[in-house]
């Protein structure tokens, strides 16, 4: 079975794995008036400074990708790797 690739962002001593749940939080952040303090609370970060650091490290395309598209891309990558025999 293929090893799952995971996109991670390190913030301080924490490592945030980008998954559908985190993408939903990011969608709410970019599309509403969510503050960095609120974002930090949603992601389980210590402060708005960590939330700011997290946002700076995220590629822009990830901020705008729909969680359902992320899931589809993940499934397609897994299927492609299985077909290749990895």
Q: What is the pLDDT along the chain (86 residues), one digit of tens a residue?
A: 445 677 899 998 999 999 999 999 999 999 999 999 999 999 999 999 999 999 999 999 898 888 888 888 888 888 888 888 75
From residue 56, give the alpha-carbon distance in Å to each of 72, 77, 82, 86: 25, 26, 34, 33
pLDDT recorded at residue 7: 87
Measure the CA–CA gap between 20 and 33, rounded to whole angstroms. 21
pLDDT recorded at residue 3: 54
* Strand-pair partners of 8: 17
Whole-prediction pTM: 0.79
Identify which of 8, 24, 18, 16 has the alpha carbon closest to the alpha carbon of residue 50.
16
Residues near 33 by beta carbon (within 8 Å), at least 6 away in sequence:
none
């Amino acid at each position: 079975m293929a090893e799952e690739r995971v996109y991670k962002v390190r913030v301080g001593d924490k490592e945030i794995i980008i998954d559908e749940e985190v993408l939903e939080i990011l969608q709410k952040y970019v599309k509403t008036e969510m503050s960095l303090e609120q974002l930090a609370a949603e992601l389980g970060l210590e402060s708005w400074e960590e939330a700011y650091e997290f946002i700076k490290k995220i590629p822009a395309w990830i901020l705008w990708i729909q969680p359902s598209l992320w899931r589809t891309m993940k499934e397609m990558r897994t299927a492609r790797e299985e077909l290749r025999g990895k």
